[in-house]
Structure 1
Amino acid sequence: MKRSLLLFVFGLMALSGVAQVTIRPMTDSLVNYKTLRKNYPPAVGPREQATLRDLTFQKLTEDYWSDFRRFLKKRNFRPDSSIIWNTEVFFKADGHADWLLYQYQRNNKRLAPEKEETLIALLTEYLNQHPLPVSSTLVWSPFRLGSGLFILGPASRTTPKGPGVIGTLAAASQTTRPDTVKTIAFSGLELEQVPEVIYRFTNVEEINLGHNYLTALPARLTALPKLKRLNLMSNRLQEDSVFFTRNKVVKSINLQRNSLTDVPASVRQNRRLESLWLGNNDLANLTIKPLRSLHRLNDVNLYNVGLSQLPKDIGRLKHVKVMDLYYNKFTELPRQLGRMKRLEQLAIAHNNLKEIPASLAKLRRLQVLFAHHNHISQLPTKFQRLQHLHVLDLGYNELIVAPNVLGALPELEELSLNNNSLQEFPSVLLSIKNLKRVYMGSNPLWGREAMTSPYASQIKQLEANNTQVTY
């Protein structure tokens, strides 16, 4: 009877055209979960097959729940302790929520019944009034999104403490010795703009403004005369809202997880910048022109930014030593990458590469190469030029035989060949004199137990050479 009544009410709502979200626990027997999932296909694919569309949805979802937490704060709702819900939201094509199913994360403290009822009422109000801001180019049919909903309790933020550290706005206003402050830790304060009080601290060396709601970065901030490190991770910054004044002190900037679509042009004003992290932005049309004049830049992070190709002038970044290109959509790498002659560490894992270009053999200083989770089946013979390569990770690829060129790498100490399709024991490993660790698990050359396979003697020989073998 109860189920029939619910269906009748929902039917009336549909006929009347009233948009109302239905919120239920995932364990509710009245919810036809299988049918919901069938009618609302997932908006985001598996992580290992992530696309630029997935990245856009990820950012939309994070901002959506972030705004909901602000909504709760304005309504003076704060639980006695932090809660974490696993949620699945079923949206119409226009971004309005139809259903939200939730469950508490395992071992997470539950809200009191009256608090949970209040939270659900506020969540219903928010979802009804605030559709997910999707465009017609992004979606064209109903969809579902799964995510975690974090709601912080009163003591969730641990106030940073220590000599020379300021962690709250009140402490920043009250201190009588701003000259002694070296670190400003204003992460997670729900700031919508850079607070004026920061400019009191003329000797500050590190400022953390991560996990706030900043939409603009004033140039005045980098005019602080001793500022070296600036963390702006997880805000709402766009490239045309980020301004830096010309300086020779800032060495590290973290702009990960913002709303950038390109490198902010004013980044070039940080004349002695060494580290720039831009991961988890939408940089599919990346240009590197603002970086070319930064002759001290040695660490560039482009993790999960939706790149399918690198700019051909990437070779102009001749001073970069560490480059992170994890979780992009490369099917090939430009030969110009081989012009980055100072590269010591390169991460190209979690892409769609079928081969590594021979031009990378020009990176004579390369010491670490992470190329796992691709479709690589061989290495170029020219890789024998990488005489300083210490770490090579080729796990989760499509190697059938171990490349012979491995034997020509005299300084190779750590090698990963796990989760490939190796059909025979890679005897070439016995000729690598400095090999200290090798990973070969999840290959078809042996069954469950390598030491009962025909290759037990080769494994023992490797171990006799002080090589740790993981199988």
Structure 2
Amino acid sequence: MFRNLLLLTGWLLSLAGFSQTVCLTEAEHEAAARQLAKEYILIEKVLDPDFGTNRDANRADFEMTPGEKKRIEIRNQIAKDLNQMLKQAKVLQDTGCYVQVALYANADGSINRVYAEPEFHFSAIRMDSLAIIRVKNRLSPLLCQWFSNYRFPVTAEKPYRYFTGLPIGKFPSQRKLRRGPGILTTIEDAEKTGRPDTVKHLVFNTLELKEIPNVIYRFPNLEVLDLSSNSLNQIPEEVFLIPKLKQLNVSFNPLGNDGLHVARNKHLKILNIQSTGITAVPKTVSRNRRLESLWLGLNDFSGGLNTAPLRRLRRLNDLNLYRANLAELPRTIHRLKRLEVLDLYYNKLRVLPERIGRMRRLQQLALSNNQLHDLPEQIGRMRRLQVLYTHHNFLASLPASVQKLYTLRILDIGHNAFSRVPEPLLHLPYLEELDISHNRLSDLPTQLSQLQTLRKLFLRGNPISEQKKVSASLIKDLEKNSTEVFY
């Protein structure tokens, strides 16, 4: 009887411990991130008193500080234990995903709050959207329970926070690779080739690499290096000193904020560091003096976006911040004056700074899947804008200045709250494609037929299309202009 009472007490205590941990949704974490950042210090500062100071970036493992080694050890152990749990639960047996994790720990290591979001954006995933939803519905409670019972192996004087990205489950071993002259896809082939001077592409993705293979330095004419989806914690300076390297992809590696060591160079043009666990733009990225394209998406920038390192990139014209957990854009975003492409898909933006209109060279702007209710009036100053995606927001009108976007060719305002076709878009002289599907349109203005360059018009999911009240005469006039209508 006494033994049973002890077991019951232990069970109740474990339940009490579980209930003390708050599992945050994506929206809840986004709303609380700033306040939590004030209450919990970074674990880097707990483990490494010299965190944030300048160090020699080109260091071997034995030269790392104990704090750096500890962070890598913790991350690897969490991934191992988590995958073991999922294996026992028979979840993700045939596929895999990445989990963005934010742990907020008490000083004794117990978890106070946890955010763990599975991300199925890996190119090897072979599931449709419904299958992904089913897996997420089963996976999310398991992640919540497991992290709630987890005790972080670090004690401190203050509560602290820890961010990381973890590959979990089983990723398909089959690799989709480019084939052709000058392309090598295995380390064995790279070591065997007798003509390293002819090799321009090395594709070493999904090889479970834990360190950079030295063979990559054999190739004097190497232009493209793909090291994505491995287990790399460090990208050393030597990689950036490969003399003709133009493209580097190290996405889906657990680099964290300290893992990218950039040597000053004038040859790299494209850098992909998506889903690498960074929470800020690496300061050293500005050493790529001629960088043109930078992909930062699938990382957690809920603490804000510092544009200072980017402003030093005088040739940067393409910036990707896809699903970067951004709640707002900094007012300084307009200082990236040479940007031509800006991708802000799947963030938490509620408003845009007026100064975004000063980005006069912007040609493509993607604002879809945010929480925007309005666009700034200054957007009309983007006279070179050709493509504007704003679908899946809460827009009910467009600013009058939109009619000044004379070069706009593609406009997608689907899945919003428009009850009428916005009048400003009826004055766009070169509009070729207009998507206003899944809104609240009950009629269409006859002026649509005056858009002489319009080639595609999407109207599905509106009351006017569902009730089949689209004017036959308007459709006829549109078709005379060679406009294809989807309704």
Report the TM-score, using the length of structure 2 for normalisation: 0.70
Q: Alignment partner of 2:329: what SS?
A: coil
**Counterpart among 207, 215, 236 of residue 254 in structure 2:** 236
Partner of 2:201: 183
Q: Map 1:123-142; keep pairs closer than 5 Å.
A: 131=150
Contact 2:79 2:167 in 1 (8 A): no
Q: 1:15 to 1:95 in 2, by over 3 A?
A: farther
Q: Map 1:267-286; keep pairs closer than 5 Å.
A: 267-284=285-302, 285-286=304-305
Partner of 1:67: 79
Partner of 2:188: 170
CA distance in 2, matches of 1:19, 1:148: 31
**Counterpart among 251, 258, 261 of residue 279 in structure 2:** 261
Q: 1:352 to 1:159 in 2, by over 3 A?
A: closer
Measured against aligned partners, the alpha-carbon deviations of 1:10-64 in whole angstroms (never above 9, x if no partner) come to 99976555999xxxxxxxxxxxxxxxxxxx9985469xx994789x9xxxxxx89
**Counterpart among 335, 342, 347 of residue 323 in structure 1:** 342
| Range moving further from structure 2, 318-327 or 200-209 | 200-209
CA distance in 2, matches of 1:361, 1:454: 30
Partner of 1:219: 237
CA distance in 1, matches of 2:26, 2:153: 17
RMSD over aligned Cα, in angstroms? Answer: 4.2
Q: Alignment partner of 2:225: what SS?
A: strand
CA distance in 2, matches of 1:85, 1:194: 23
Partner of 1:415: 434
Amino acid at match of 2:197: D
Partner of 1:378: 397
Q: Once the 2 structures are TM-superposed, how far is the Cα of residue 131 of structure 1 from its aligned partner?
A: 3.9
CA distance in 2, matches of 1:148, 1:287: 27
Aligned residues: 393
Partner of 1:33: none
Identity within the alignment, %:
38
Unaligned runs of 5+ in 1: 1-9, 21-39, 57-62, 76-81, 87-91, 97-104, 108-122, 140-146
Q: Once the 2 structures are TM-superposed, how far is the Cα of residue 439 of structure 1 from its aligned partner?
A: 0.6
**Counterpart among 195, 200, 205 of residue 223 in structure 2:** 205
Q: 1:454 to 1:470 in 2, by over 3 A?
A: closer
Contact 1:389 1:412 in 2 (8 A): yes
Amino acid at match of 2:484: Q
Contact 1:436 1:467 in 2 (8 A): yes
CA distance in 2, matches of 1:442, 1:316: 39
Partner of 2:100: none
Q: 1:387 to 1:161 in 2, by over 3 A?
A: closer
Contact 1:251 1:272 in 2 (8 A): yes
CA distance in 2, matches of 1:172, 1:94: 48
Amino acid at match of 1:222: F
Measured against aligned partners, the alpha-carbon deviations of 1:241-297 in whole angstroms (never above 9, x if no partner) come to 312111111010001111111111111111111100000111121101111121211
Contact 2:348 2:371 in 1 (8 A): yes
CA distance in 1, matches of 2:486, 2:285: 44
Q: 1:167 to 1:11 in 2, by over 3 A?
A: farther
Report the TM-score, using the length of structure 1 for normalisation: 0.72
Q: Once the 2 structures are TM-superposed, how far is the Cα of residue 132 of structure 1 from its aligned partner?
A: 8.8
Unaligned runs of 5+ in 2: 15-20, 37-74, 88-92, 98-109, 115-125, 129-141
**Counterpart among 452, 455, 459 of residue 471 in structure 2:** 455
**Counterpart among 235, 241, 250 of residue 268 in structure 2:** 250
Contact 1:69 1:151 in 2 (8 A): no
Partner of 2:57: none
Amino acid at match of 1:387: Y
Q: Alignment partner of 1:445: what SS?
A: helix
Partner of 1:83: 94
Contact 1:402 1:428 in 2 (8 A): no
Partner of 2:359: 340
Q: Once the 2 structures are TM-superposed, how far is the Cα of residue 162 of structure 1 from its aligned partner?
A: 3.3
Contact 2:460 2:466 in 1 (8 A): no
Contact 1:404 1:428 in 2 (8 A): no
CA distance in 2, matches of 1:213, 1:315: 36
Q: Once the 2 structures are TM-superposed, how far is the Cα of residue 325 of structure 1 from its aligned partner?
A: 0.6
CA distance in 2, matches of 1:342, 1:306: 25
